[in-house]
């Protein structure tokens, strides 16, 4: 059951973001909010055209039914839910719609929070002690979507914006791929604890495999690690090194663009060495050739 992005159905459709204003962008005449995209459940079309104002509620309804059914039958279950929130188009339900709203992203975020809360309530009322909830984002805001994109927080990358760049989605700067995650498992994961450790979404798969008392295939190589001990509060060791491939902002897809080693982050750049080094608030190593040893070299 799902929905995909459709050409022409973006709000806003991608005009340049206003530089000195927080005014919400208006969609243009050639951006049609009524589309004939079908909604599938497995191989069956259950709605056409899809009503995006009720899509999130349909997701939640299916999830809650699935949780209650598995609990009643005593079945163990794995559930992956990718909500349409917080991606464009930001289409609010009728209950959340406010024509005078000046913060569409914030309103949409509150709606997602309520939907996730309903799912958590379903877990708490059925298998609270035996269910692990893992909630995370996948990337930073899509900067060209202006007020519909969210915020990069303190990772503004102003040095790059002056040259037409961005520190947001598709970049390997902090605003592009540093995202929050929330782990919830009463009795297993300590409550009200935050961690500064360097972790990755690559860790989700090996961690869940470990919690299921299974093993990873020995003939495969996995970049992620089992972080269950970190989640349970027994370990303070995350990744020491992470490689970040380019995802469209510069160069070829998949090529390594930056390397993180402990508190350092190195980028493969080819010019403006002095400007970059002076403009950033944390250490960036700029190099012409592959990095060998940043601790001894710098």
Q: What is the pLDDT of residues 236-264, one digit of tens each?
A: 999 999 998 887 777 778 888 888 888 88
Q: What is the pLDDT of residue 18?
A: 56
Q: What is the pLDDT of residue 146?
A: 75
Closest Cα partner for 199 from 176, 174, 179?
A: 179
Instruction: Produce one character per residue of 71-88: b if its CB has 16 or more CB atoms within 10 Å, e if not.
Output: beeeeeeeeeeebbbbbb
Instruction: Label residue 154 by pLDDT band (50, 70, 90).
Output: confident
Instruction: Label residue 12 by pLDDT band (50, 70, 90).
Output: very low
- Residue 83 dihedral angles phi and psi, to the nearest 5°: -70, 155
Residues 25-61: pLDDT tens digits? Answer: 454 444 445 557 888 988 899 988 888 888 888 999 9
DSSP three-state, residue 46: strand
Beta-carbon neighbour count of residue 230 at 10 Å?
Answer: 20
Q: Cα 288–179–9 angle (5° rounding)? A: 95
The answer, as to whether pTM is greater than 0.85, is no
Determine what percent of the chain is predicted with pLDDT higher than 70: 73
């Amino acid at each position: 059951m799902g929905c995909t992005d459709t050409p022409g159905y973006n709000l806003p459709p991608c005009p340049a973001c206003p530089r000195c204003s927080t005014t919400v962008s208006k969609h243009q005449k050639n951006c049609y909010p009524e589309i004939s995209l079908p909604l599938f459940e497995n191989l069956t079309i259950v709605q056409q055209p899809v009503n995006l104002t009720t899509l999130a509620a349909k997701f939640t309804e299916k999830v809650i039914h699935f949780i209650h059914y598995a609990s009643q039958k005593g079945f163990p279950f794995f559930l992956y839910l990718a909500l349409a929130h917080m991606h464009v188009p930001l289409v609010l339900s009728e209950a959340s719609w406010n024509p005078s709203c000046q913060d569409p992203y914030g309103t949409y975020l509150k709606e997602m929070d309520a939907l996730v809360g309903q799912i958590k309530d379903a877990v708490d009322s059925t298998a609270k002690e035996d269910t692990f909830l893992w909630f995370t984002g996948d990337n930073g805001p899509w900067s060209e979507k202006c007020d519909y994109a969210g915020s990069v927080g303190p990772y503004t990358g102003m040095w790059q914006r002056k040259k037409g760049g961005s520190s947001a989605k598709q970049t390997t700067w902090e605003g592009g791929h540093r995202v929050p995650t929330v782990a919830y498992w009463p009795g297993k994961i300590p409550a009200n604890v935050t961690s500064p450790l360097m972790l990755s979404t690559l860790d989700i798969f090996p961690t869940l495999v470990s919690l299921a008392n299974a093993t990873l295939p020995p003939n495969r190589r996995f970049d992620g690690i089992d972080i269950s001990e970190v989640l349970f509060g027994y370990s303070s060791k995350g990744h020491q090194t992470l490689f970040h491939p380019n995802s469209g902002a510069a160069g070829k897809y998949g090529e390594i663009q930056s390397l993180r080693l402990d508190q350092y982050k190195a980028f493969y750049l080819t010019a403006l060495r002095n400007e970059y080094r002076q403009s950033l608030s944390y250490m960036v190593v700029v190099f012409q050739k592959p990095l060998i040893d940043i601790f001894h070299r710098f």
